[in-house]
């Protein structure tokens, strides 16, 4: 059985990162707290599977992602956009070019979160793992059980989507106010 | 060094962003750097992309963590550990109780298989010995697999005891007879020729008060050698023998 020190170390070292990630993933502080607590509960129950404390970070994030996906499957209210839908999106293809008008200081945190929520979870998860936690593509591929090329492709598409959605939000400030969600739903 | 095209440069830039500098070998790294130096469009794109990545990363990390969450999780960890320890204690207790119970039942089972010391049977044996010593003696001989007749006609009314003696670590059947008048005894040892002793070297022996007589006849006595030990004296073994029908 793991010692009390390991339990405490797992909490102390990773709970903040897990919460931030869970918040970006779920978009709700309450859901994020629940997700983190569920993650630790699942981690404690299967702590014997943790072979090295050094791999705890990746292990905890994998648990969190799996729990989130399970919740998404249970929660029919959540939207699911198949990747094919996005690959066919001409709008997305057009946004391959990096916009130099990107102005992060003008991005409202709520708009950012709304835009992230608009991303499909298959794209959102690798994007957040990479940009928030600095996981390398290879690590993400191992965690999610997908090829590294797929990880690269999904992160790129997620970025494209995000740029486009945030660009729309920026435009919305200028024009009539519209929810970011509506922009996404307007996709073919 | 090979010359890198724009689309290749973009791909390697992406790989470098995701996997770090070490993901590219020195040759590819050099080709990429060379391309970026010579291609203003790709260089701009790389810078913009890097800036974009950095700013996105910073933006995404701007999440305030609830103040109580850490404490709640530590309490949760302590509670889980406590629950696990309790569960483990209960489990160990249950296992220990089961083992004890099993041992108890095994002990009771073992005790149940032990023979009962029956005084009634002892009384019956004793009674049989007193009432009919001849039958008692013959039953014993039969039980021991010994010939039914002795080589000398000993008086079975003088029989005191049937049992075993340890001689040089070996268990030897023996019959003990008392003298009819004096406090003297005669013993008959039954040595099987298939037993542990070198019976061929057995000889008669005599001391000041005791005589040992060896009687051996493999055909008559079914492979048993008799050693009769009795008091020395002019009467010899006679007091222990069955009286003749004609004498009183």
Q: Please, what is the average pLDDT of chain B?
A: 88
- pLDDT for the residue numbered B199: 66
Average pLDDT of span B173-180? 95
> Per the structure, how many domains does chain B have?
3
Q: Mutating which of A14, A18, A19 best tests the B interface, going by the most B Cβ atoms within 10 A?
A: A19
- Final residue of a structural domain among B61, B89, B107: B61
- pLDDT for the residue numbered A182: 36
Residue contact B19–A138, C-beta within 8 A: yes
Distance (Å, whole) CA B36 – CA B46:
8
Where helices occur in chain A by DSSP H, the ranges are 4-26, 29-45, 56-74, 83-87, 90-94, 109-118, 121-133, 137-144, 148-174, 180-185
Quick: pLDDT tens for B194-203: 888 876 678 8
Residues 18-57 of B with CB under 8 A from A: 18-20, 45, 48-49, 51-53, 55-57
Instruction: Kindly state whether residue B173 falls inside one of the protein's structural domains.
Output: yes
Q: Which of A1, A16, A132 sits opposite B88 (nearest CB)?
A: A1
- pLDDT for the residue numbered A103: 64
pLDDT in tens, chain A (188 residues): 567 788 888 899 999 999 999 999 988 899 999 999 999 999 988 888 887 777 889 999 999 999 998 888 776 544 444 444 334 333 333 333 445 555 666 677 888 888 898 898 899 999 999 999 889 998 999 989 999 889 999 998 998 888 888 876 554 444 433 333 333 333 33
Residue contact A12–B70, C-beta within 8 A: yes
- Final residue of a structural domain among B26, B41, B61: B61
Distance (Å, whole) CA B223 – CA B192:
6
Q: Which is more confidently placed, B186 or B168?
A: B186
Same domain, B142 and B235: yes
Same domain, B70 and B29: no
pLDDT band at residue B102, thresholds of 50, 70 and 90?
very high
Which region, left, alpha or beta, applies to residue B168 given φ > 0 means left and ψ of -120 to 50 means alpha?
left
Note down the domain range covering B139: 132-240
- pLDDT for the residue numbered A112: 85
Q: Which of A10, A19, A112 sits opposite B59 (nearest CB)?
A: A112
- Residue B148's domain is classified under what CATH number? 3.30.200
Q: Which of B11, B19, B10 is nearest to B43 (CA)?
A: B10
Same domain, B38 and B83: no
Instruction: Kindly state whether residue B210 falls inside one of the protein's structural domains.
Output: yes
In chain B, pLDDT over 90 holds for what percent of residues? Answer: 46
Same domain, B168 and B78: no
Domains annotated on chain A, with CATH: 4-74 (1.10.1740.10), 83-185 (1.10.10.10)
């Amino acid at each position: 059985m793991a010692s009390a020190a390991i339990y405490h170390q797992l909490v102390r070292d990773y709970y903040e990162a897990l919460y931030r990630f869970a918040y970006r993933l779920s978009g709700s502080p309450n859901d994020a707290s629940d997700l983190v607590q569920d993650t630790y509960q699942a981690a404690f129950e299967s702590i014997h599977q943790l072979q090295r404390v050094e791999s705890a970070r990746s292990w905890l994030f994998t648990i969190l992602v799996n729990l989130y996906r399970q919740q998404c499957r249970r929660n029919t209210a959540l939207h699911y956009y198949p990747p094919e839908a996005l690959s066919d999106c001409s709008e997305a293809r057009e946004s391959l070019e990096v916009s130099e008008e990107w102005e992060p200081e003008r991005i409202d945190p709520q708009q950012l979160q709304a835009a992230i929520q608009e991303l499909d979870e298959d794209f959102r998860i690798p994007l957040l793992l990479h940009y928030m936690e600095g996981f390398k593509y290879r690590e993400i591929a191992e965690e999610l059980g997908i090829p590294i090329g797929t990880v690269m492709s999904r992160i790129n598409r997620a970025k494209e989507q995000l740029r486009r959605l945030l660009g729309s939000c920026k435009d919305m400030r200028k024009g009539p106010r519209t929810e970011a969600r509506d922009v996404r739903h307007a996709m073919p | 060094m090979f010359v890198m095209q724009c689309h290749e440069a973009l791909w390697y830039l992406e790989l470098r962003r995701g996997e770090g500098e070490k993901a590219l070998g020195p040759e590819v790294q050099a080709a990429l750097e060379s391309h970026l130096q010579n291609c203003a469009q790709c260089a701009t794109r790389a810078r913009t992309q890097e800036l974009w990545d950095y700013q996105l990363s910073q933006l995404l990390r701007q999440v305030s963590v609830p103040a109580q969450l850490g404490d709640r999780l530590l309490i949760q960890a302590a509670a889980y550990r406590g629950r696990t320890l309790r569960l483990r204690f209960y489990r160990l207790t249950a296992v220990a109780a089961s083992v004890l119970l099993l041992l108890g039942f095994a002990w009771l089972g073992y005790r149940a298989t032990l023979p009962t010391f029956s005084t009634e049977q002892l009384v019956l044996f004793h009674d049989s010995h007193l009432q009919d010593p001849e039958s008692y003696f013959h039953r014993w001989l039969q039980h021991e697999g010994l010939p039914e007749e002795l080589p000398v006609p000993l008086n079975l009314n003088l029989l005191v005891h049937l049992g075993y003696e340890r001689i040089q670590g070996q268990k030897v059947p023996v019959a003990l007879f008392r003298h009819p008048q004096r406090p003297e005894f005669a013993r008959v040892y039954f040595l099987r020729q298939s037993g542990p002793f070198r019976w061929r070297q057995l000889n008669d022996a005599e001391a000041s008060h005791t005589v040992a007589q060896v009687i051996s006849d493999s055909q008559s006595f079914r492979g048993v050698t008799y050693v009769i030990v009795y008091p020395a004296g002019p009467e010899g073994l006679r007091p222990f023998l069955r009286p003749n029908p004609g004498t009183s």
